[in-house]
Amino acid sequence: MARKLISLDDLTPNCLGVLKTINSVVLPTSYTAEWYQESLEAGELVKLAYYSEIPVGAIKAKQVYSSNTSKPSTVPTGVYIESFAVLPAYQQKGVGSALLENLEAETAKRFIHELIAHVWCENTAGVAWYELKGFIKKDEVEKGYYEAQGLKNPDAYVMVKKI
Amino acid sequence: MSKKRISAKPILSSKEDNSFREALKLYEEKQYKKALKLVETVLKKNSNHAESFSLKGIILFYQNEKIDADAYIKKGIMKGARNSIVCHISGIYYRARAEYAEAAKWYAAALENGSVNKVIYRDLSVMQSQIGDFAGLTHSRQEYLEEQPGYRSHWTSTGIAYHLNKEHAKAENTLTKFEELAEGKLNESDMFENSECLLYKNTIIGDTHDYARALAHLDVIEKDSKDKLGWLELRGKYLMLLSRNKEASIVYRSLLQRNPDNMAYYHLLETALGTIEKGPAVRKQLYAKLARFYPKSDPPKYIPLTFLDGSDFTAATNDYVLAQLKRGVPSTFVNVKAIMGNSAKQKIIEKLATEYFEGLDKNQEPIAWIWASYFLASNALYMGRLADAHARIDAAIAHTPTLVELYILKARIIKHEGDAVAAAAVMNVGRELDLQDRFINSKAAKYYLRANMVDQGIATISMFTKNDNAVNGLKDLHQLQANWVIVESASAYLRLFQEASAAYRNVLTSEDFVALSEEEQLKIKTETEDQLAIYLGLALKRLHGVVKIFNEYVNDQLDFHSYCMRRGTARAYIEMLKWGNSVLKTPVYLRTIEELGKLYLQMADAKKPAEDKKKVKKVKKLKGKDAKRKEEYIAQITAYADDADPLGAELLLADPLETFYVLWKPVNDQFGVSRDSQSTEIHRMGFEVYVRQQKYLLALQEVNQLKKVTDNTHPAIGTMVLQLKAVIANPETSGAPEAILKVVEKSIDTYFPELGELGDEKFLAGYAVDEVTQLVSELAV
């Protein structure tokens, strides 16, 4: 097989259903219809991953701005990963890495120096994976982040990678 | 091309004739208004001037006053049926109306009545080609050739006419004569036409079964043949027919070299080599060799599966099926479906695939796992193990919920479980994964239609149609001749009609309904009957939509009777005529005619006259909200621009038996007396029509044809014969002359001599119980 096993592609209105399916199957969080509609505008910050031409993973991020409300800024301070999922059967095959690497490159291209993600405290594999990728766990946990999803310990770590 | 010069030769030089000729000139220059004025002044002075009536008719026709046009054309014919100009104009008129037989008649009449305008022969020959009058065609082509021998196309068309009329020697001579005339005078630009004509002549020689001469001729024309592939195929064919198998095998090997994916060449090669008789061991060796020559081709790997057995088959399955599963080929099951009918082979394939699948780890090798699951689910569905199939496909979807193919298969499984609505829903989930996938879009639309959700189905497929100025793509679908959508919607409306009719019958007898006041009862009755009329009308409308498209197919041939001659593509032309002669046997058309037959026969038996006419008017009287809703609905179901009858209400008023007969006859004619098993229902319906028309002899012919086609096994034959016998027994009510009944009686004896010996009961018992007849007799009890 000459073609690449893993490839990335843009999100288009025609394959929005794929993003919905992957997120709803893999993630505890559910996203609104508006969120999905807005994803179409996210440009390079949203990507689908194909494994042997089957869509199996997706990432969606957005730029975040300084939380200092007194001085609203138009300069983004970081890229925040809103959703990031790979179908279980296709994990540990480099699909997630490909998606993340692409996002890191895109972040660098925008001269943004911080990549941020929330990870559920109980998801030790997830935390370990992010650490392996160079993310650093912040000391304070975000209490009750996953409350709405009804997880038993709803706290989340904030993981950050400097680019 | 639609209007031809009508050269009028002066006979009388009266003033009227001058004015008429002036008008004719204006007509030819398309100055219709001026021409009309002039022709009217002629008619004012001479109200018997036949040519002027005809001319006025044709002018009106092109000015879109079709009804008046017809009256004037007929008046012209009445006053001057032997006038060559009248005849010629009538020919042009009927040609424009696509009534080709009538047009041919009048073109021929124009020539018979002394027209010296030889161009009419050309127009006449196009009409004769279209209606299949080949004897007449040879004459008109020959006449035109003698008029204008300077064009190759006239020689070719004359040759074709003789060929079609089975005068092979004359056909060949005509073509040869031109070759002799043109020898050494052809330009480079003529060489393609030349090649086609030479190869065409070769097929004519082949058609005389003189293969030795055909082969010799093929060698002569080799250097001038541009179509090397066609040339080789002909050569292989002749060599085989001459039993020169060794040479034929070499031809087929070179054909394989050109295209190693053509399955037919492998079979032909085997026939030439005689390996099929030599048994599987020899064949296996042959294909092993071929597979080495053509490693990228499928047939040399697949074909051995069809003849190998036992351990050889197991090994071949390993090489073919498992190799494909390992690569994750989605079509693996479809590739072997043809051999799955062999239960021993199916078992081996299933066993090997299952073993392979069970050895897979779904997380380590997800691609192999998912396609193997898909294969096994397809297999389970094929074997009718629906629960097994369902479980496998559910597991597969849980594993890879983003793979469209899985949803298609799941929807099919649910369809076989009998839940059309759920099947459509699953198909739609798959569709939403990839909105630009035309295939699953069509599938989803079809499944909606099968679930009787017509509006949803049309809305779905409309995502891929041109919908300008319309709420959906229905008009575009008719324009694009999307027969499957149209016929599926017809069936859906038909089912809706049947369901609603059954429900209505129940309502009418229910206690609740009886308890209502007369006024309320009337309201429910009107509403339901209106709805029923809409379903039935739309079903008819759609079915007639398919009929209209097939009429277009038939009429589309018209241009090619002259075009192919000019291009010199005689072989393609002959192929087209063959296609035209069997186009009505296309399955989708047979299905359409069968559905129409069921409906029209039912309507003929129910016969509810006059009343409906009032109802059509009443429907239009809706006001306010109801009117708006109705308007929106009509916009949704309108199939043609400017359709005066979008709901098909007019179709409900036509005489059902006559309407159906006109549609049924050409299909029956295309089947002729052939023993095509597809024709079963057509003959059965022919019987029903003829019995109702009291044409018993023709009805019996249909029974006899049904007997021939089904080897006397069709369950309805027994009842049909007895039905005819009963008619003969009651001559007063039969409606047919006694002499005819006598002939029918005799013919029954000839076709079914056993009836007399066995007696009715035993005769009937000779045929299996027909589902329909059984149902009817059960209901009668």
In chain A, residues with a C-beta closer than 8 Å to the C-beta of B324 are: none
Residue B560: CB atoms within 10 A of its CB come to: 19
CATH of B402-464, one of 1.25.40, 2.60.40, 3.40.720, 1.10.10: 1.25.40
Please determine, for the modelled complex, whether the ipTM score is greater than 0.90.
yes
Rounded to 5 degrees, φ, ψ at A83 are -145, 145
Give residue-wise pLDDT tens across range B562-611: 999 999 999 999 999 999 999 999 999 999 999 999 999 999 988 655 45
Cβ of B363 within 8 Å of Cβ of A88? The answer is: yes
The reported pLDDT for the residue numbered A147 is 82
End-to-end Cα separation, chain A, in angstroms: 35
Chain centroid, CA B586 distance in Å: 4
C-beta of residue B78 within 8 angstroms of C-beta of residue B105: no
The reported pLDDT for the residue numbered B217 is 98
User: Would strands A136-142 and A114-120 be described as parallel, antiparallel, or unpaired?
Assistant: unpaired
- The owner of tokens 């075009």 is B563
- Residue range B9-18: mean pLDDT, rounded: 62
In chain B, residues with a C-beta closer than 8 Å to the C-beta of A90 are: 366, 400
Nearest CA in chain A to B436: A14
Residue A133's pLDDT band, with cuts at 50, 70 and 90, is very high
- Tell me if chain B has a CB within 8 Å of the CB of A99: no
CATH of B15-184, one of 2.40.160.50, 1.25.40.10, 3.40.640.10, 3.30.9.90: 1.25.40.10
Cβ of A25 within 8 Å of Cβ of B401? The answer is: yes
Kind plus residue range of the DSSP H or E element containing B687: helix B680-692
Cβ of A89 within 8 Å of Cβ of B328? The answer is: no
Nearest CA in chain A to B401: A21
Residue B618: is its pLDDT beyond 80?
Answer: no
Cβ of B402 within 8 Å of Cβ of A56? The answer is: yes
Q: Count Cβ–Cβ pairs < 8 Å, chain A vs chain B.
A: 53
Cα gap B456→B444, rounded to integer Å: 10
Q: How far is B327 from chain A (nearest CA, A)?
A: 9
Give residue-wise pLDDT tens across range B669-724: 999 999 999 999 999 999 999 999 999 999 999 999 999 999 999 999 999 999 99
Give residue-wise pLDDT tens across range B48-102: 889 999 999 999 999 999 999 999 999 999 999 999 999 999 999 999 999 999 9
3-state secondary structure of A138: strand
Nearest CA in chain A to B361: A89
Closest in B401, B402, B434 to A14, CB measured? B434
User: Would strands A76-86 and A114-120 be described as parallel, antiparallel, or unpaired?
Assistant: parallel
CATH of domain A6-162: 3.40.630.30
- Residue range B371-386: mean pLDDT, rounded: 98
Cα gap B76→B86, rounded to integer Å: 6
Q: How far is B633 from chain A (nearest CA, A)?
A: 29
- The owner of tokens 């050494």 is B184
CA-CA distances (angstroms) from residue B144 to B29, B87, B126, B147, B571? 25, 19, 12, 5, 22
Using the CB atoms, write b or e for A43-64: b if 16+ within 10 Å. Answer: eebbbbbbbbebbbbbbbbbee
Cα gap B208→B167, rounded to integer Å: 10
Rounded to 5 degrees, φ, ψ at B452 are 65, 15
The residue of A50, A52, A92, A93 whose CB has the most chain B CBs within 10 angstroms, and thus the best one to mutate to test that interface, is: A52
- Residue range A149-163: mean pLDDT, rounded: 88
Chain centroid, CA B165 distance in Å: 25
C-beta of residue B468 within 8 angstroms of C-beta of residue B633: no
The residue of A3, A51, A54, A92 whose CB has the most chain B CBs within 10 angstroms, and thus the best one to mutate to test that interface, is: A54
Angle of CA points B153, B156, B158, to nearest 5°: 110
Residue B2's pLDDT band, with cuts at 50, 70 and 90, is very low
The strands making up A46-51's β-sheet, listed across from edge to edge, are A6-9, A46-51, A54-65, A76-86, A114-120, A156-162, A136-142
Cα gap B371→B363, rounded to integer Å: 13
In chain A, residues with a C-beta closer than 8 Å to the C-beta of B369 are: 89
Residue B168's pLDDT band, with cuts at 50, 70 and 90, is very high
Cα gap B226→B238, rounded to integer Å: 19
In chain B, residues with a C-beta closer than 8 Å to the C-beta of A87 are: 399-402
Residue A2: is its pLDDT beyond 70?
Answer: no
Give residue-wise pLDDT tens across range A59-79: 999 999 876 666 667 788 899
Query: Shortest CA distance to B684 belongs to which of B746, B593, B608?
Result: B593
C-beta of residue B379 within 8 angstroms of C-beta of residue B348: no
- Tell me if chain B has a CB within 8 Å of the CB of A21: yes
Nearest CA in chain A to B404: A54
In chain B, residues with a C-beta closer than 8 Å to the C-beta of A1 are: 327
Q: What percentage of residues in chain A have a pLDDT greater than 90?
A: 73
Give residue-wise pLDDT tens across range B126-144: 999 999 999 999 999 999 9
Side chain identity, residue B498: Q
3-state secondary structure of B331: coil
CA-CA distances (angstroms) from residue A145 to A148, B196, B660? 8, 78, 71
More confident residue, B356 or A153: B356
Beta bridge partners of A50: A7, A55
Closest in B367, B370, B402 to A22, CB measured? B402
Chain centroid, CA B730 distance in Å: 40
In chain B, residues with a C-beta closer than 8 Å to the C-beta of A125 are: none
Query: Range with the lowest mean pLDDT among A41-45, A136-140, B13-17, B603-607?
Result: B13-17
Side chain identity, residue A106: E
Residue B167's pLDDT band, with cuts at 50, 70 and 90, is very high
Mean pLDDT of all residues belonging to chain B: 92
Give residue-wise pLDDT tens across range B91-105: 999 999 999 999 999
3-state secondary structure of B698: helix
C-beta of residue B17 within 8 angstroms of C-beta of residue B11: yes
Q: Which of A116-130, A145-159, B193-207 has the highest mean pLDDT?
A: B193-207
Mean pLDDT of all residues belonging to chain A: 90
Give residue-wise pLDDT tens across range B198-209: 999 999 999 999
In chain B, residues with a C-beta closer than 8 Å to the C-beta of A52 are: 328, 367
3-state secondary structure of B670: helix
Residues 6 or more apart whose CB falls under 8 angstroms from that of B79 comprise B48, B49, B50, B53, B86
Using the CB atoms, write b or e for B352-387: b if 16+ within 10 Å. Answer: bbeebbeebebeeebbbbbbbbbbbbbbbbeeeeee
Residue B37's pLDDT band, with cuts at 50, 70 and 90, is very high
Q: How far is A61 from chain B (nearest CA, A)?
A: 21
Residue B776's pLDDT band, with cuts at 50, 70 and 90, is low
Give residue-wise pLDDT tens across range B735-745: 888 899 999 99
3-state secondary structure of B81: coil
End-to-end Cα separation, chain B, in angstroms: 64
- Residue range A25-46: mean pLDDT, rounded: 93
Query: Shortest CA distance to A3 belongs to which of A43, A70, A49, A52?
Result: A52
Rounded to 5 degrees, φ, ψ at B145 are -60, -45
Structure token pair of residue B477:
């679908």
Nearest CA in chain A to B369: A89
C-beta of residue B528 within 8 angstroms of C-beta of residue B535: no
Chain centroid, CA B254 distance in Å: 36
Query: Shortest CA distance to A63 belongs to which of A111, A122, A11, A124?
Result: A111
The reported pLDDT for the residue numbered B732 is 86
- Tell me if chain B has a CB within 8 Å of the CB of A22: yes
